[in-house]
Structure 1
Amino acid sequence: MNINPISGGQETLCVKVHKVYDWVTRQADVPLLAFTGLEALGSLGFDCPSTPTPTPGGAGDPCAFLGGNLTVDCFPTDEIGNPIDPLAPGAILCQEIPQPDGRATGQFQLPDGSTVTLQKVKVLKKGFIVVRVSNPQGLSCTSDPIPWALSEKFFLCAPPGTFIQCEVTDFECDANLMCRSVGITPGVFEFQQLDISINLCQNVQAEAVVKLEITADFCQPRPDMPLICPPLAFPPQCPTIFPANGNNGE
């Protein structure tokens, strides 16, 4: 069966698309995650080999095992501790929080003096991070996955029938570990405090699936580009010494 490509003038089409009713971006700071004292250390679940000498922190104390001059970093993971790409769709939960009475409305004044009605939308972000502590000798301790969460509210043009599309576009995690000396023995430390800060950027959109009538041309595939082989190249010769103009170098 021969199928002829569609050509000619424009046609009126009915398409089903996601219409964006409103769209905002915002930077968000997760409330500081602070863990203080040996009791808090136990909740972090650091995986460290046994310490050479017993200390109050025990084998799970990165300060006791690694000593001073430590490097601390943190990174996003799933709930079992596998590293993830925080910008991948669905990697970090980012979704609307349903409200019992629906989205409340409010009146807002625009710069030109007119007013607009917007809806209050609550959005939840949550995920996990892992903290890794290392010393110059290459030894390290890694924490259990640490949960974090943030709830925010937005005022958007989000009338009934719209849904909220939320995505994380940037993610940063910083951790600061404080150790203190134990007794009078030099080089012996124990855990004192761990502070974790998380910053992220997000897109929040109010959308609805609509059907639109448009006038447009049908698309056609472009011609395939042929592969062009590069020309053959030969190494340069040394004509001053070879073949030496037939006199064999004499």
Structure 2
Amino acid sequence: MKPIRGSQLTPNNVQEECIRVSKVYDWVFDAISTDTGITLPDDCAAAVAAAVAAGRTPLDVTCEVPDVGGFFPLDPPDTDGNALCTVSSRIERREIPLGGRLVEVAIVKVIFTIRPLITIFDSTGAIICQFRPTISESRRLVVCAPEPFTADNVFCRLISLDCDTNFIETGDPDLGLQVMLDICFEIQVEADVKLEVLAKFCFPRPNDIELPTNGVCPEFEWPAQCDFFPRDNCDCQAFVDTDPLTGPVDITFAPILFDAPLAAGTYTTELNAEICDNCQLTGSTISWIVEDFVVPTGTGTGTVDQSFTFTASEIGMPECTEVLGVTTMTVEGAGTVSFADPGVADRTVLFTLTLVENIGSADDTYAITLTDLAGTALITFAAAAVDFVPDEDLVVQDCVTFPNLLDD
């Protein structure tokens, strides 16, 4: 048997490892502004009055805030208690509509305590007095902090502070000091978790990167365009302005809307919508008005006025298709239904609206369905297959976008 010569190789292959890390469940940036009237301490007020009496005006006031470190380092500097961000121990939990469905969220309260350094100068530049007022402000935020998380899992960090002042330079009748603060902060929800990962151990690298001996110019780059401007272009746009139309108007109501059983009603329907004007979604509006002009429509002992107004509050990007010259726009979103009958409560609903632009001067049509947040149909107007809207009252047309031009 030959002896083993040289060094033995220790395998360092990728393998399953269990590690403990801090998982980030949510991470929120926000900013608030405050405008606070400041009362001068007694000794400072006396010194200011003496300076005004001696004619050492106009006065000047500066405001300094402590350095809170910015985005980095992750461990903020010590501000001696002059800039604090505290999360209240009480976490409120509730369900709210989000993205078209009910989601359970946590609501946390964050308290900011800032003690800026206020310095008052006379007209010669001499310091009259200095003091640190305590300014408190709070903000409630929605975060992901599932049970059994507590406030110990929620961390608040100040990113930046800016301070400015308003005051009366003559000191007459008093300084009238106001301090404005801009507070930028982040909220992070964390918890230690154990993860099984595929990994291998790291080893140090050799010092094999040489410093350049000559001057080095930075790489030239154009500033990146902000992702919120320009806004996305719509693929199509629509305008609808109908008079109250009487037929055919076949509207179906879900029984859960009304306490009394309903007989078939007779209605007018009026739709007003402006969607993607100038091919931009911003400013789009949708309003649907249905009038029940044979009231009551209840059966048995109940009577119900089924008239209502639907107003969209959130409108999604529309989609358009064209088949054999007929253009169809479909748009979804959310809004509120307000009933004329005081016994029927207003509802937050989701909607799907379909607009059909027929060929030439032929009548057009539309259909709309309102559902609850779970997707159950509440009010349905399925008239898209019947042409009853005058052509000039409903217009759907294409928007020319950059992809259209590139495809050409």
Q: What is the TM-score with the length of structure 1 in the denominator?
A: 0.66
Partner of 1:218: 201
Whichever residue aligns with residue 14 of structure 2, its letter is Q
Partner of 2:236: none
**Is the aligned partner of 1:172 residue 2:162?**
yes
Query: Does the 8 Å contact 2:19/2:194 carry over to 1?
Result: yes
Partner of 1:207: 190
Query: Does the 8 Å contact 1:61/1:190 carry over to 2?
Result: no
Q: CA deviation at 1:150?
A: 1.4
Spell out structure 1 runs of 4+ moving beyond 6 A: 226-231
Structure whose alpha-carbon radius of gyration is higher? 2
CA deviation vs aligned residue, 1:18-74 (integer Å, no higher than 9, x gap): 1111111111123x2213xxxx4334x43xxxxxxxxxx643448526833444221
Query: Does the 8 Å contact 1:63/1:179 carry over to 2?
Result: no
Q: CA deviation at 1:168?
A: 0.8
**Residue 26 of structure 2: which of 9, 19, 22 is its match?**
22
CA deviation vs aligned residue, 1:77-117 (integer Å, no higher than 9, x gap): xxxxxxx3233345322121112xxx222222233x23311
**Residue 89 of structure 2: which of 98, 104, 112 is its match?**
98
Alpha-carbon distance between aligned partners in 1 of 2:164 and 2:85, rounded to the nearest angstrom: 21
In percent, how many aligned pairs have the same letter?
24
**Is the aligned partner of 1:109 residue 2:97?**
yes
Partner of 2:41: 42
In structure 2, the CA distance between the partners of 1:213 and 1:90, relative to structure 1 (3 Å rule), is farther
Q: CA deviation at 1:136?
A: 6.1
Partner of 1:194: 177
Whichever residue aligns with residue 193 of structure 1, its letter is G
Partner of 2:119: 132
Alpha-carbon distance between aligned partners in 1 of 2:159 and 2:55, rounded to the nearest angstrom: 35
CA deviation vs aligned residue, 1:89-148 (integer Å, no higher than 9, x gap): 45322121112xxx222222233x233110111111113111123356432234221111
Which range moved further: 170-179 or 57-66?
A: 57-66
Whichever residue aligns with residue 26 of structure 2, its letter is D
Query: Does the 8 Å contact 1:180/1:192 carry over to 2?
Result: yes
Q: CA deviation at 1:191?
A: 3.2
Alpha-carbon distance between aligned partners in 2 of 1:206 and 1:168, rounded to the nearest angstrom: 15
Alpha-carbon distance between aligned partners in 2 of 1:62 and 1:161, rounded to the nearest angstrom: 59
Q: CA deviation at 1:225?
A: 4.5
Report which structure shows greater RCO (CA 8 Å, sep ≥6): 1
Runs of 5+ consecutive residues of structure 1 not aligned to the other structure: 47-56, 77-83, 182-188, 232-250
Alpha-carbon distance between aligned partners in 1 of 2:192 and 2:145, rounded to the nearest angstrom: 13
Query: Does the 8 Å contact 1:62/1:191 carry over to 2?
Result: no
SS of 1:159's equivalent? coil
Runs of 5+ consecutive residues of structure 2 not aligned to the other structure: 1-7, 70-75, 215-408
Matched pairs, number: 195
Partner of 1:243: none
Partner of 1:73: 62
Query: Does the 8 Å contact 1:6/1:218 carry over to 2?
Result: no
Whichever residue aligns with residue 197 of structure 1, its letter is M
Whichever residue aligns with residue 10 of structure 1, its letter is V
**Is the aligned partner of 1:85 residue 2:67?**
yes
Partner of 2:106: 119
Which range moved further: 222-231 or 89-98?
A: 222-231
SS of 1:59's equivalent? helix
